[in-house]
Chains A and B, each alone.
Chain A
Amino acid sequence: MSTHLIAFFTLREALRRRVVLAAALLTFGYLVLYGVGVWFGYRDLQDTPGGPPGLTEGVVNLMLVGGLWSLNFIASVLAVFLSVGALAGEVDQGTLHAIAARPVRRSEIVLGKFVGFTLMLAVFIGVSAGLMILIVAVITGQIVGASWSGPLLMLLASMLLIGLALAGSSRLSPLPNGVIVFTLYSTALIGGVIEQIGDVLESAVMFNIGIFSSVLVPTRAIWDMASAQLAAGGFAGELSAGPFGASNPPSGWMLLIAFLHLALTLGFALRAFERRDF
């Protein structure tokens, strides 16, 4: 099996091409900015007397979930950018010809790339989310969101996008593939908002449109699950819903749908890439 060779090669390419460096530097800048924001926000919160019980806790939680929402967005963009040209783009450039002529299965190329991108995103999400939780803990003295399930769900959302982009990339060149993947990603994002409004207005149609978009691309639904894991219960949970998460987190079925989605997109990528002519 050469999957690990391709995965390692993919990782090394990202390191060498300074994709990781650029992402790390920008994320570092973002974390600094975020830390400053949390520090001032928390100080103002301390200076404001009164308010319902649990307000401080809720706001701190909101700040963390909001911060992680941005990280999740960066991770999603990174996932799409990394993988959108991974197959067809390289075939068009001719860089994959010599590799595909080796005793390597086409499926090993696809899976190797998937594993490589996933590892990269795992490191990115693990490190940046860990630092963000640490920043909030150090500044506010409150440890919130310190669970594995939140960041793991964020990784799953990125993996869904990698699978989708690889499926497209088995046939389409990078530009149309990128347009399609981003459009689907945005559909899921907007679908989530429509679902929330539908929930408030008690509109079954709007609610169902949201559900449909989540089944089509479950990235937003998986984020909603992640944010529910990260948010504390009670008032804090209510507060941190709104823009960064659903008031009613999706059921466990969504996890099954997400894994099914991943299996389908990867299956398509494997099958289509296996059959294509170079």
Chain B
Amino acid sequence: MILGLTYPTAGEIEVLGQPVGSLAARAQVGFLPETFRFHDWLTASELLHFHARLARVPADIRAERVRELLALVGLSDRVGDRLSTFSKGMMQRVGLAQALVGEPRLVILDEPTSALDPIGRRDVRDRIRELGEQGVTVFLNSHLLSEVEQVCDRVAIIDHGAIVAEGKLDTLLSAQEIEIRAGDGAEAAARQALGDAEIRALNGRLRVRVANDDETAILVQRIVEAGVPVYDVRQVGDSLEDLFVRVAERGDV
């Protein structure tokens, strides 16, 4: 919809201050489709030149831009080769260069590393971070949550077409889980202390979701006050994947 490829059934969208789908909006957007299929009779250089012209890149800087971008994605040695001879990974890299050819202010990357090897993935992650540093907004759509965690500032989780969690990554992940090893009666004391908090007993240990460190302190204090010995308390790291699974399965953040 941001790209004007599908139409909204209701409501209005603005992209960089322009109505969605308008030429002015699309002129500022770069896009790497998930399928990254391009006309394979073109050479890498021809593809970028064609897209540069469509994106209205001035003629005098076009050749330079194309050269730079092909170098950026590591395809300098394949400039004149037809895309039909490219591997999937190379196709995805030339697709990334294509997305950047119009110097967009917003880049939409749909699964940009799905065909890349680990080194290629790291390269793309570095490129995304560089774009972010240059003030370009990168919209990364990915199922690789570790990748999202590594490059994104803000995250939205979409389940069945609706945003179920959205916000800055560190805020979303600030809710943490602690594991407590304590004597009998710890679970009852914890429930009394935190009420409806999520508490699970696991192999004689308690797993409790807390909002912050203060809650942890209060919880431990209450268990001790109830006369239950506490042997060990440690934080269990929460990853984006944990968050995703929790949100998708139970609908809470």
B152 within 8 A of A: no
B4 near A98: Cβ-Cβ < 8 Å: no
Q: How far is the CA of A278 from the CA of B21 in the complex (A)?
A: 13
Q: How far is the CA of A99 from the CA of B7 in the complex (A)?
A: 17
A98 near B6: Cβ-Cβ < 8 Å: no
A101-B38 CB under 8 A given contacts A277-B5, A277-B7: no
Question: Which residue on chain B has the smallest CB distance to residue A104?
Answer: B54
Count residues on chain B whose CB falls below 8 Å from chain A CBs.
30
A93-B27 CB under 8 A given contacts A9-B50, A277-B7: no
Q: How far is the CA of A89 from the CA of B3 in the complex (A)?
A: 20
Question: Which residue on chain A has the smallest CB distance to residue B1?
Answer: A277
A101-B35 CB under 8 A given contacts A13-B41, A277-B5, A278-B5: no
Contact of B54 among A97, A102, A275 (CB under 8 A): A102
B41 near A16: Cβ-Cβ < 8 Å: yes
Q: How far is the CA of A71 from the CA of B51 in the complex (A)?
A: 37
Q: How far is the CA of A93 from the CA of B27 in the complex (A)?
A: 24
Q: Which residues of B have CB within 8 Å of A99?
A: 51, 54
Question: Which residue on chain A has the smallest CB distance to residue B54?
Answer: A102
A95-B38 CB under 8 A given contacts A100-B5, A101-B4, A103-B26: yes
Contact of A101 among B7, B31, B53 (CB under 8 A): B31
Contact of B33 among A13, A17, A97, A103 (CB under 8 A): A97
Q: Which residues of B have CB within 8 Å of A100?
A: 3-5
A102 near B39: Cβ-Cβ < 8 Å: no
A43 within 8 A of B: no
A95 near B37: Cβ-Cβ < 8 Å: yes
A 96-136 to B, binary, CB cutoff 8 A, 1 in contact else 0: 01111111110000000000000000000000000000000
Q: How far is the CA of A249 from the CA of B81 in the complex (A)?
A: 53
Q: Which residues of A have CB within 8 Å of B7?
A: 275, 277
Q: Which residues of A have CB within 8 Å of B4?
A: 100-101
B 29-72 to A, binary, CB cutoff 8 A, 1 in contact else 0: 10111011111011000000011011110000000000000000
A2-B35 CB under 8 A given contacts A17-B41, A277-B5: no
B27 near A97: Cβ-Cβ < 8 Å: no
**Residues in B2-34 with C-beta less than 8 Å from chain A:** 3-7, 23-24, 26-27, 29, 31-33
Q: Which residues of B have CB within 8 Å of A17?
A: 41
Q: Which residues of B have CB within 8 Å of A103?
A: 23-24, 26-27, 54-56
Binding site for B on A (CB under 8 A): 2, 5, 9, 13, 16-17, 93-95, 97-105, 275, 277-278
| Given A103-B54, A105-B23, A278-B6, 15 other A-B residues pairs in contact with their CB atoms under 8 A | A93-B37, A94-B33, A94-B36, A95-B37, A97-B37, A98-B32, A98-B38, A99-B51, A99-B54, A100-B4, A100-B5, A101-B4, A102-B51, A103-B24, A277-B6
Give the 10 A-B CB pairs with smallest separation, nearest first.
A94-B35, A94-B37, A278-B5, A102-B54, A101-B3, A277-B6, A103-B27, A103-B23, A101-B31, A16-B41
